[in-house]
């Protein structure tokens, strides 16, 4: 919601169940939707957004509107039947869509390597004859460039792209989850590869921004969040 509409106030109102939210407080965090901004809806069903995005991509191909749909989901959802059915359909029809996997290695408490036989998820793309890309999800610029490539590929009529974005989780799956299934090594790597800290370091090293400018950005965001 924030990315597509730049509207913190109505986003937070929806999360708090207020009438002023995008869905008048009825959607909450699991089903928040703002179609006019291009947000077709979060989904409480694991992998449930994949068919919605595929349908959106089909509509774009039929109407020739030049849009590219993007389905965001976790690595656990990539084992759902709808994932494979939709990618097969999108590949056959060369639909303009990017399937974006946020792979933090854990589906609730289940390690992906115990439920998936391939070393990566992006290589599953080979079975459908589509493009598969792996990117470091803790690198802002790498993700930006990978998405540019993926969207251009999909928009040009070459068909869908499966983009695996390797990231980390900092806590358990839910409030109160002790996350004992997450190793010390995993937690250490997660905090060492914090995406915001890494990007700050890059901006400072390249002379793109000063520490004062970064502090000002953080302060402005904090103020905006508190207001919302």
List the catalytic residue out of 31, 155, 181, 186.
Answer: 181
Greatest Cα pair distance in the chain: 51
- Cα 63 to chain centroid distance, Å, stands at 26
List the catalytic residue out of 173, 186, 202, 224.
Answer: 173
Concerning whether 173 is annotated as a catalytic residue, the answer is yes
List the catalytic residue out of 31, 84, 149, 169.
Answer: 169
Contacts of 181 (CB under 8 A, 6+ apart): 106, 109, 111
Concerning whether 169 is annotated as a catalytic residue, the answer is yes
Which residue is it, tokens 């509207």?
A: 7
Concerning whether 16 is annotated as a catalytic residue, the answer is no
Catalytic residue positions? 169, 173, 181
């Amino acid at each position: 919601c924030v990315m597509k509409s730049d509207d913190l106030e109505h986003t937070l109102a929806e999360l708090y169940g207020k009438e002023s939210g995008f869905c008048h407080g009825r959607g909450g965090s699991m089903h928040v939707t703002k179609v006019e901004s291009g947000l077709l809806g979060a989904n409480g069903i694991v992998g449930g957004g994949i068919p919605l995005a595929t349908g959106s991509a089909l509509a774009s191909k039929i109407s020739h509107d030049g849009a590219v749909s993007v389905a965001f989901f976790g690595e656990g959802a990539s084992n759902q039947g709808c994932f494979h059915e939709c990618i097969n359909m999108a590949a056959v029809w060369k639909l303009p869509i990017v399937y974006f996997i946020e792979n933090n290695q854990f589906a609730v408490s289940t390690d992906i390597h115990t439920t998936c036989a391939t070393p990566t998820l992006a290589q599953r793309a080979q079975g459908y004859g589509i493009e598969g890309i792996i990117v470091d999800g803790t690198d802002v610029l790498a993700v930006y460039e990978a998405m540019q490539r993926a969207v251009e590929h999909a928009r040009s009529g070459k068909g869908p792209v499966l983009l695996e974005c390797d990231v980390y989780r900092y806590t358990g799956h839910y409030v109160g989850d002790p996350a004992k299934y997450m190793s010390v090594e995993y937690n250490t790597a997660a905090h060492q590869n914090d995406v915001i800290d890494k990007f700050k370091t890059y901006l400072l090293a390249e002379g793109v921004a000063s520490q004062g400018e970064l502090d000002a950005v953080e302060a402005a965001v904090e103020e905006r969040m508190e207001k919302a």
